[in-house]
Structure 1
Amino acid sequence: MARDVQITFDCADPAALAAFWAEALGYRLQDPPGAFESWEQALEALGVPPEHRNDASAVVDPGGSGPRLFFQRVPEGKQAKNRVHLDVRAAPGLEGDARMTALEAEAERLASHGATRLRRHEPAPPLDAGHIIMADPEGNEFCLD
């Protein structure tokens, strides 16, 4: 039986990191529970103290096919290279210069939202079509592929 998957990020600022990944993936902030019109209204009604209202956040695929991304505040910062990372498919079906141009454009767009460009890997056919390694605003590596 296939299972749904959620991807969880440990981070310092769940709201900010959720906003970055929503922008990067075309996702949206998960709706608040029940009949609440906003998360602030829901958290107030649930009795969550103001200092804990940014302890978690989540973004979802508006089409419902991609995994939910969950962001949880942790006290420690990132300390080493990720062992698992996301590949953001930013140039599907493109090859060569057209592919790398599309990846460069996406790298610039995401940098304007707080990402950091780490390095570019040139195409090396037949197995490597080329990609750009980036880091999100909290240093988590991901690839533009």
Structure 2
Amino acid sequence: MATVRELQVTFDCAEPVRLARFWCEVLGYVVPPGQDEAAVEGGGDDAPEDQPGGAVCVDPTGAGPRLYFQRVPEGKVVKNRVHLDVRAGTGLVGAERLATLEAEGARLVALGATRVRLLPADDEEESCLVMQDVEGNEFCLD
């Protein structure tokens, strides 16, 4: 049997600090103790493109994975192969679920997210909102 290990989710990005701040707001995460408010490791957002900078945010309860945002020189070209599902409507169904997702989607748009589309409920799945973060990475509100 495998040993449970800690999980870190790493995002390639152009502006690590900006993306880390966005996801801290989305998830209620924080900058780890001992780092300045910008959560910069390495070169930061002002570093030359050949110097990777990075930013970190963590779940203050310790339950969720650490998120690391690393600067890469290339931009995002195609749809993510992996994405985060932000579980805003867990346990809710129908109109109540949809209202909760819409309210959370509006909050995230105010933070810089983009609403892509609503996937309406069907016979198998409840409603889900497809969104993009401030750098165009897809995620779902479900």
TM-score w.r.t. length of structure 1:
0.86
The structure whose Rg is larger is 1
What's the counterpart of residue 114 of structure 2?
116
RMSD of Structure 2 on Structure 1 (CA)? 2.3
Distance 1:74 1:135 in 2: 19
Could you give the per-residue CA deviations for residues 21-46 of structure 1, whole angstroms, max 9, x where no partner exists?
A: 0000110112226xxxx367x97xx9
- Runs of 4+ deviating beyond 3 Å: 48-54
Q: Which has the higher helix share?
A: 1
Residue 130 of structure 1, CA deviation: 1.0
SS at match of 1:29: coil
Range with greater deviation from structure 2 (102-111 or 50-59): 50-59
Distance 2:45 2:129 in 1: 39
Distance 1:95 1:70 in 2: 33
Report the number of matched residues.
136
Could you give the per-residue CA deviations for residues 113-137 of structure 1, whole angstroms, max 9, x where no partner exists?
A: 0000000011113x20110000000
In structure 2, do the counterparts of structure 1 residues 76 and 105 end up closer, same or farther at CA, with 3 Å as the change threshold?
same
Residue 86 of structure 1, CA deviation: 0.3
In structure 2, do the counterparts of structure 1 residues 16 and 2 end up closer, same or farther at CA, with 3 Å as the change threshold?
same
Residue 54 of structure 1, CA deviation: 8.1
| Percent identity of equivalent pairs | 49
Range with greater deviation from structure 2 (54-63 or 94-103): 54-63
Q: Which runs of 5+ in 1 are unaligned?
A: none
What's the counterpart of residue 68 of structure 2?
70
Distance 2:4 2:117 in 1: 35
What's the counterpart of residue 89 of structure 1?
87
Distance 2:103 2:109 in 1: 10
What's the counterpart of residue 102 of structure 2?
104
Distance 1:129 1:107 in 2: 16
- Please point out which of 53, 56, 68 is paired with 2:54: 56
Distance 1:130 1:32 in 2: 40
Structure 1 residue 130 and structure 2 residue 127: aligned? yes
Distance 1:129 1:112 in 2: 24
